[in-house]
Amino acid sequence: MLNCELSSVSAMNEDRHEENLNEIKQVSKDQRELDICAEDFQVSNLSRLMGSEASNHTAGLENLYEKMLAKIDSLARQVEKSSADVLEQETRNRKLRYKVARTGPE
């Protein structure tokens, strides 16, 4: 019976280790995703932004929002420029097709 109990404890420890490993992986993944949006903001700071102490950390949250808005603004400008480039290329292509249709194959 003692052998069975030891193997059960060992299995539970292994499960806890697996849970800890999964938690570490998730935090790392969350941090990578957050890094994409706002540089220098740590996932661990998110827990401080909840609860009664949140008012003490609003500056950090405001900083995060500013960085996210700057990133969104930058992406919006890139999309706007690429859309203009696509429209310009489509206009050139339409003119070329019209020209080829008018002159016909040589």
Domain, as residue range, for 19:
2-79
Give CA–CA dist 22/16, Å, rounded: 10
Element (H, E) at 1: none
31 neighbors 43 (Cβ within 8 angstroms): yes
Task: Answer whether residue 28 is part of any domain.
Answer: yes
Q: What is the pTM of this model?
A: 0.45
Q: What is the pLDDT of residues 12-69, one digit of tens each?
A: 666 677 777 888 887 777 767 766 665 666 666 666 667 777 777 777 778 888 888 9
Task: Answer whether residue 61 is part of any domain.
Answer: yes
Q: How many domains does the chain have?
A: 1
Task: Answer whether residue 30 is part of any domain.
Answer: yes
Task: Answer whether residue 96 is part of any domain.
Answer: no
